[in-house]
């Protein structure tokens, strides 16, 4: 693979539209591309008061539109105005437990919203590259030890997972029916594991829950301590999406289809491992196991096989588990101690770019 900085430099002057830019992954991606001279446009629900997007003041450095992907008319209007060349679709209802509380919202956002996005791309004559982001939870999870490959069966027990599987089917249909016949155009879907990193304040996510407990000097309470996930720093899948988008720009038909982006199998850890590591890097705190077992179903074992991305994109993770948790906790601790979020974020981007594949 070309040097990551070289890949990023190819976005200079490109009109890039990111749906879900106010979210955790979207804000990191927006800020990263802005550093390399991309003309970044965003379309998403308004940012929460406490969010990475607001802490970076991205509303001052990019053209963001408050919008819902369920609003097909306004989304298409935004496409006509922006005339994007590259589209990253990240907008979603991303929380498993929330999908149990509000399945309708989850399916409308993650499936109907996906249809609206794909239709906007279909109707646009400016878009040349689409990276359509779903989730590792799009796979039918049978608790197998081996990692899931891009050709494995799709499915989902909970509404969130099912909505992501459905979104992949919709993407595949649009790709087969419309996009593959389009000259100079390429589309691919990205499936990533659980991401952690600084600036995430979402509900029902392990790191934000840990940080809220640590800053309040309360024990971290875990509901599913033995669940294993392919934990990775947010910059890992984002680097994969960026490499994928650049390949779509240069060789549109060479990388179409689905791609997994996750850590090595040896890097998979339990929820308990993450919490204990967070306590260690914070320098204080404790972990407790919740005795209430009446929670909705969540998968215990989930791993990805990323051989395809390694071999065909020469993409690979840069930070191991220990470094991932360390960088994540450092972000919160430095900001808690008075550092500016924009400075900490910029510094970590530089650290990540300098780290070569092991």
CATH number of 4-354: 3.40.50.720
Number of Cβ atoms within 10 Å of the Cβ of 50: 10
Q: Where are the alpha helices (DSSP H) in the chain?
A: 4-9, 24-35, 52-55, 72-82, 96-101, 103-107, 113-123, 159-174, 206-215, 235-250, 271-282, 307-312, 321-336, 341-354
- Quote the pLDDT of residue 268: 83
Task: Give me the residue label for tokens 């539209």.
Answer: 17
Q: How far is CA 322 from CA 21, 274, 311, in A?
A: 28, 9, 25
- Quote the pLDDT of residue 294: 58
Number of Cβ atoms within 10 Å of the Cβ of 32: 22
The end-to-end CA distance of the chain, in Å, is 14
Query: Would you write out the chain's pLDDT as a tens digit for each of its 358 residues?
Result: 469 999 999 999 999 999 999 999 999 999 999 999 999 999 999 999 999 999 999 999 999 999 999 999 999 999 999 999 999 999 999 989 899 999 999 999 999 999 999 999 999 999 999 999 999 999 998 878 788 999 999 998 999 999 999 999 999 999 999 999 999 999 999 999 789 999 999 988 999 999 999 999 999 999 889 888 889 999 999 999 999 999 999 999 999 999 999 998 778 899 999 999 999 999 999 999 986 665 666 666 778 899 999 999 999 999 999 999 999 999 999 999 999 999 999 999 999 999 976 5
- Quote the pLDDT of residue 298: 62
- Quote the pLDDT of residue 291: 65
The phi and psi torsions of 317 (rounded to 5 degrees) equal -65, 150
pTM, rounded to two decimals: 0.95
Nearest Cα neighbor of 351 from 324, 322, 332, 313 is 324
Calpha distance 226→170 (Å, rounded): 33
């Amino acid at each position: 693979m070309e040097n990551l900085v070289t890949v990023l430099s190819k976005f200079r002057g490109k009109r890039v539209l990111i749906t879900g830019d106010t979210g955790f992954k979207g804000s990191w991606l927006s800020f990263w591309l802005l550093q390399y001279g991309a003309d970044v446009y965003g379309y998403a629900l308004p940012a929460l008061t406490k969010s990475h997007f607001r802490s970076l003041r991205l509303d001052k450095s990019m053209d963001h539109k408050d919008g819902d992907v369920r609003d097909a008319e306004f989304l298409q209007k935004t496409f006509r105005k922006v005339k994007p060349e590259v589209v990253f679709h990240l907008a979603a209802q991303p929380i498993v437990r929330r999908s149990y509380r509000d399945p309708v919202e989850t399916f409308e956002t993650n499936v109907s919203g996906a249809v609206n996005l794909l239709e906007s791309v279909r109707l646009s004559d400016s878009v040349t590259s689409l990276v359509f982001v779903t989730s590792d939870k799009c796979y039918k999870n049978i608790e197998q030890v081996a990692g899931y490959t891009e050709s494995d069966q799709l499915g989902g027990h909970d509404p969130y997972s099912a909505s992501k599987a459905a979104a992949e089917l919709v993407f595949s249909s649009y790709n087969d029916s419309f996009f593959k016949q389009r000259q100079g155009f390429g589309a691919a879907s990205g499936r990533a594991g659980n991401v952690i990193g600084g600036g995430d304040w979402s509900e029902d996510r392990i790191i934000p829950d840990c940080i809220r407990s640590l800053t309040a000097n309360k024990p971290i309470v875990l509901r599913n301590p033995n669940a294993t996930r392919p934990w990775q720093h947010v910059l890992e899948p984002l680097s994969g999406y960026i490499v994928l988008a650049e390949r779509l720009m240069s060789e549109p038909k060479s990388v179409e289809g689905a791609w997994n982006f996750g850590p090595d199998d040896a890097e998979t850890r339990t929820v308990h491992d993450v919490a204990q590591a967070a306590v260690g890097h914070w320098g204080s705190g404790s972990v407790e196991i919740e005795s209430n077992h009446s929670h909705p179903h969540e998968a215990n074992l989930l791993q990805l096989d990323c051989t395809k991305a390694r071999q065909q994109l020469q993409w690979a993770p840069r930070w191991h588990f220990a470094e991932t948790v360390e960088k994540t906790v450092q972000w919160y601790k430095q900001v808690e101690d008075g550092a500016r979020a924009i400075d900490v974020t910029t510094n970590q981007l530089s650290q990540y770019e300098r780290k070569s594949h092991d």
